[in-house]
Structure 1
Amino acid sequence: METPTRHHTATPARRALDALAGNSEDPAALDVLARSDVLVPVPDDVSDADAGHPSTVALPVLQEPDGREAVPVFTSESELAGLLPAVSRYRLVPLGALADQWPTGDLALTIDAASPHGLTITSEGVRNLLARPYEY
């Protein structure tokens, strides 16, 4: 049996997103995703000093078509460029650590929003499904 080419170059996070498209509660895929690094775009109004601070991350917030607010993150530079080509800076952050510090409220998380394997998770889902304490 031949494996499609895209699986040879897909990151573990992207393969986890593919698995979650078929079963949104797949615990193994959620664990892989939570332990993966994601690219978080740095908003234009954040200074270089703040953007590089190791213990804080400025979250860019976009309004979804349905009116919800979501933070976009990406599994690769090509996914980032596909949706936000004007973004020139990003931070590489462990998704589980980001989820562990996720703000309360209705702020959703969108992973690879413009791709077929994109996933949007509610604020509660981020904290319950993806939070992993970050070990320094």
Structure 2
Amino acid sequence: MDTPSNDITAPEPVTPAQEALTTIALNTGDSRGALDTLADSEVLVPVPDDASEEDAYDPTAVALPVLEQPSGEQVVPVFTTEVEMADLLPFVSRYRVVPLGALASQWPDIDLSLTIDASSPHGLTLDSEDVRTLLARPQD
């Protein structure tokens, strides 16, 4: 009798944020509703390697990891799950969990894009204006 291999891992459950990204990517359903779901979701923000321990865990601020694309565009990568983050940035050892709408409401007023799950088929990149207008939520 053959014994099933334990090397097979169960697929990660799809999060509401990932469902929203898929809806937006496929342009199906209610895009506004999908954006609202996304804005209400928490994302993982990698802590930059050069951030001090104090800056990395300061509850009043988030150090943004900025990556420069070959085109010169600067983007901040965030992720819906640890698996998504590990697919693109396997070397990340520290990250913060942040409500995306809160992050967007404090987005810097510079030319800085946001990319969510960049390496996945449902990835989304927004320019700085779209981050603030489509995802920002008022702070309590």
**TM-score, normalized by the shorter chain, greater than 0.5:** yes
Of stretches 59-68 and 17-26 in structure 1, the one that deviates more from structure 2 is 17-26
| Aligned residue-pair number | 130
Which protein shows a greater Rg?
Answer: 2
User: Any runs of at least 4 consecutive aligned residues in structure 1 with deviations exceeding 3 A, and if so which?
Assistant: none
Where do 5+ consecutive residues of structure 1 fail to align? none
Structure 1 equivalent of residue 73 of structure 2: 68
Inter-partner Cα distance in structure 2 for 1:128 and 1:58? 21
Residue 65 to residue 117, structure 1, CA distance change in 2 (3 Å): farther
TM-score normalised by length of structure 1? 0.90
CA distance in 2, matches of 1:90, 1:65: 24
**What's the counterpart of residue 19 of structure 1?**
23
Hey, what's the Cα distance between the residues in 2 that align with 1:65 and 1:120? 15
1:10 corresponds in structure 2 to 14
Describe the SS at the equivalent of 2:98: strand
The answer to whether structure 1 residue 46 and structure 2 residue 48 are counterparts is no
Residues 1:113 and 2:121 are matched in the alignment: no
Kindly, what percent of the aligned residue pairs are identical? 62
TM-score between the two structures when normalised by the length of structure 2: 0.88
Q: Which moved more, 1:18-27 or 1:89-98?
A: 18-27
Listed one character per residue, the Cα deviations across residues 19-46 of structure 1 (whole Å, up to 9, x for unaligned) are 0002288100000000000000000111
